[in-house]
Amino acid sequence: MIKSKLTYYLLPSLLFGCLTSAATLTAQTNPPADTLVIDVAMDAGTLVYSRPDALATGVRRADTYVINGFVYGGFSIPSGDTTNSFAPDPAGSIGTIVMNGIFVSDPATAVSSNVPMITTTHVFTLNNADGFVTQGLEGAFPQIRALLGGTGQYSGSIGQVTEELLGTNGTGGYNLRFTFQLVRLNPQDNSTTLTAQKQRVQSLKARGQRPNR
């Protein structure tokens, strides 16, 4: 009796809410999205697993790892195998990326290799103190990831990111392309902050250049 009464009262209320709110949820209410493309080269030499024998015995479900890479302007890295022509380094980069992941299935027992097997978080740190954080699946490409937020001019950003595999580089790591479709909700100017100045100095030192005083 109680269940039937709840159903009687709830269904008309939910239906009424849908009917009255639908008219306001139109495409015109959505703010325009910006498109940003950046390329990334992962450095396989920085790959570390939490389980020391993961590479020797084979990765398994719940294994975790972390790997670093460099960020470049969009369409800077050519598609295909760049093993003999390109290796990630600070020269020409506009920032760095840290990627940490958890295997959600056992690759050895996977039905298909074209199935996402890893959930990852990507932290992009640009030299001007702007940045992004994304979350999504990996193991098959392309993948659409969620943009969780950002810093600097991308502060408060929402949207999604398409991740594409370009090829491999001189370290054996992946070259990737990320296409952001984002809405900036609370942009901030970090260019003159102490953090931006420190990141610029660190970037110049990594390239072997002396910062201007």
- Helix H, strand E, coil C: the string for 15-27 is HHHHHHHHHHCCH
Under DSSP, the state recorded for 206 is H
Check whether 91 has a pLDDT greater than 80: yes
* Residue length of the chain: 213
Tokens 């296409």 sit on residue: 179
Give me the torsion for CA of 128, 187, 96, 63, rounded to 10°: 160
- Average pLDDT value for residue range 170-192: 94
Please name the residues in contact with 153: beta carbons below 8 A apart, sequence gap of 6 or more: 130, 184, 187, 188, 189, 190
Domain range summary for the chain, segments of one domain joined by +? 30-206
Strand (E) positions, the chain? 34-49, 64-73, 95-103, 118-126, 131-138, 143-151, 158-168, 174-183
Lowest mean pLDDT among 35-39, 77-81, 179-183, 191-195: 191-195
Encode pLDDT of 31-63 as tens digits: 788 999 999 999 999 999 999 999 899 999 999
- Average pLDDT value for residue range 194-208: 73
- Say what the pLDDT of residue 62 is: 95
Whole-number mean pLDDT of the chain?
84
Tokens read off for 134: 């994304």
Q: Which residues in 169-195 are b (16+ Cβ under 10 Å) and which e?
A: bbbebbbbbbbbebebeeebebeeeee
CA 73/CA 94 separation, integer angstroms: 7
Is it true that the peptide bond before 88 is cis, omega within 30 degrees of 0? Answer: no
- Amino acid identity for residue 69 in this structure: G
Highest mean pLDDT among 3-12, 17-26, 169-178: 169-178
196 band by pLDDT with thresholds 50, 70 and 90: confident
For domain 30-206, the CATH architecture is Beta Barrel (2.40)
Q: Are 36 and 10 in contact (CB under 8 A)?
A: no
Tokens read off for 197: 């100045």
Check whether 9 has a pLDDT greater than 50: no
